[in-house]
Amino acid sequence: MDADVVKRLQADLQERLARLEAEVAELDAEDRELLSEASGENAYRDHMADQGSATFERELDMTLEENVRDLLAEVRGALARIEAGTYGTCDRCGSQIPVERLEAMPTASLCVTCKEAEEGR
């Protein structure tokens, strides 16, 4: 793979890393705030409907937070593969991942064929 392409994709990944790390820090701060609110200081949550809404919102937040952390792990993995010199090589079959796929999805670690097999297509 062309070194300039790898550098460009690495820069994109580093931007994503910074953005995701900032988002995780913000989510962590919100978690601490929500934890202090859930300590019983807010009387309005005593109503069952309010408790249900709060529970739903918290579960949604947890799902979104998990998605952000998964994306963060994928970006870190891609950057680690660049450092190791294995970026652009399929983790399963060892073939080269097309540049077009990496440009569309810089965190890709599988070629299209292996990804489709993983998804059961």
Alpha helices, H only, the chain: 3-37, 48-84, 99-104, 112-118
Distance between CA atoms of residues 30 and 24, nearest Å: 10
For residues 63 and 106, give the distance between their C-alpha atoms in angstroms, rounded to a whole number. Answer: 23
Say what the pTM is.
0.76
* CA–CA dist 68, 19 (Å, integer): 10
pLDDT digit string, tens, across residues 37-84 = 655 555 555 666 666 676 677 777 778 889 999 999 999 999 999 999
Whole-angstrom distance, CA of residue 90 vs CA of residue 97? 6
